[in-house]
């Protein structure tokens, strides 16, 4: 990596996300920190990607690692860190088949390559293991640049789980959109298939569970609705974006390029009350045998209150509300017969229009 730091992996077991640190010197002191957006942060990784880092290689300002495949249901992967986070370069489809080593070459037959050795079996003594070597061409270039990449097979992207900023509330997820290029008009060539996962439990998000097919995105498709247009009830929601390419023929090396993904929906908060009522200032004062100014002062204090104020309201009982607005429509009852004179015994009467909202049920 071109950040001048020394990158190293922590040894973990086959049921733990990989953990990678970087060490650099600042003002003569060693500083050790986890790399940006490491596997061990956030939602973690899918269960089949668990396991330790086995090999690390720095090339073209990035760090490449091989990891995983140390146990049943664990698949080997080659990951790349581009300075901002990890993304997958290769995944083996058979569990326990490790990538033994990786190496980078800057210019091999005019094409930069990432070489790797794949173990051919997953059991037996160490002497019985055999490996086959492979390479990925153009591994150091952004695929969106248009460079030709010979891909082994179609791949997928697991996007993070989202909760719309309200993790404890239900959501109505309405539709998903894909902004992509290189799509064909049907599924005979390049297209994007999207699956979705929905859950009500915010616990172990790395155990993705089952995904449901949402549909296919072709060259003329930008959005697909859920629930036949009425939406899907969910607490947390995730997408798996499958990049499908043609398996054979002239276009077998082409793959769609996904630029961004959108999810439309909204949080459904518990039912609360929005109330509007009038207060007769004179009757309110008389009810408690108080001066007419007391209800006015109390309403202003409630309007200025930061904590919620209790309100007893008909069959609702007592609820806690925020006073959002108080409008006074007052009359002045004067104690002096002389027009225009002011006396301390003058009274403010009339009505107050009060609007309140109940933020939480």
Residue with tokens 């909760």: 163
pLDDT value for 41: 85
Question: Is the confidence at residue 249, as pLDDT, over 70?
Answer: no
| Three-class secondary structure of residue 315 per DSSP | helix
pLDDT value for 44: 75
Q: Cα separation of 266 and 174, whole Å?
A: 8
| Phi and psi, residue 209, nearest 5° | 75, -165
**What mean pLDDT, rounded, does the chain reach?**
85
Residue with tokens 């609007």: 355
The more confidently predicted of residues 23 and 89 is 23
Question: Is the confidence at residue 324, as pLDDT, over 90?
Answer: yes
The more confidently predicted of residues 104 and 155 is 104
The per-type count for the chain, helices as H runs and strands as E runs, is: 2, 22
Report field, pTM of the whole predicted structure over 0.85: no
Residue with tokens 């082994």: 152
Structure-block tokens of residue 308? 């919620």
Domains and CATH numbers, the chain: 6-150 (no CATH), 157-268 (2.60.120), 274-357 (no CATH)
């Amino acid at each position: 990596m071109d950040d001048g730091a020394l990158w190293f992996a922590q040894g973990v077991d086959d049921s733990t996300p990989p953990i990678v640190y970087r060490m650099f010197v600042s003002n003569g002191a060693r500083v050790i920190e986890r790399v940006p957006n490491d596997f061990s942060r956030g939602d973690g990784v899918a269960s089949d990607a668990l396991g330790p880092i086995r090999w690390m290689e720095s090339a073209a300002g990035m760090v490449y690692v091989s990891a995983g495949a140390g146990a049943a249901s664990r698949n080997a992967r080659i990951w790349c860190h581009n300075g901002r986070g990890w993304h997958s370069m290769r995944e083996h489809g058979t569990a326990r088949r490790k990538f033994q080593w990786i190496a980078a070459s800057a210019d091999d037959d005019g094409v930069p390559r990432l070489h790797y050795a794949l173990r051919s079996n997953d059991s037996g003594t160490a002497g019985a293991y055999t490996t086959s070597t492979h390479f990925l061409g153009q591994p150091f270039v952004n695929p969106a640049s248009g460079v030709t990449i010979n891909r082994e097979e179609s791949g997928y992207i697991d996007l993070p789980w989202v909760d719309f900023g309200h993790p404890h509330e239900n959501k109505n997820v309405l539709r998903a959109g894909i902004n992509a290029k290189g799509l064909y008009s049907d599924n005979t060539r390049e297209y994007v298939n999207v699956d979705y996962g929905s859950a009500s439990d915010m616990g172990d998000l790395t155990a993705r569970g089952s995904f449901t097919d949402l549909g296919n995105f072709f060259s003329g498709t930008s959005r697909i609705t859920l629930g036949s247009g009425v939406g899907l009830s969910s607490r947390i929601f995730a997408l798996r974006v499958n990049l499908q390419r043609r398996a054979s023929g002239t276009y077998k090396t082409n793959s769609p390029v996904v630029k961004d993904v959108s999810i439309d929906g909204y949080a459904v908060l518990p039912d609360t009350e929005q109330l509007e009522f009038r207060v007769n200032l004179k009757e309110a004062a008389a009810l408690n045998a108080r001066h007419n100014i007391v209800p006015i002062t109390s309403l202003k204090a409630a309007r200025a209150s930061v904590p919620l104020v209790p309100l007893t309201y008909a069959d609702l009982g007592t609820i806690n509300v925020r006073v959002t607005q108080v409008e006074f429509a007052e009359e002045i009852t004067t104690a002096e017969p002389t027009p225009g004179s002011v006396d301390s015994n003058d009274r403010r009467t009339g009505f107050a229009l009060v609007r309140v909202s109940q933020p939480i049920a």
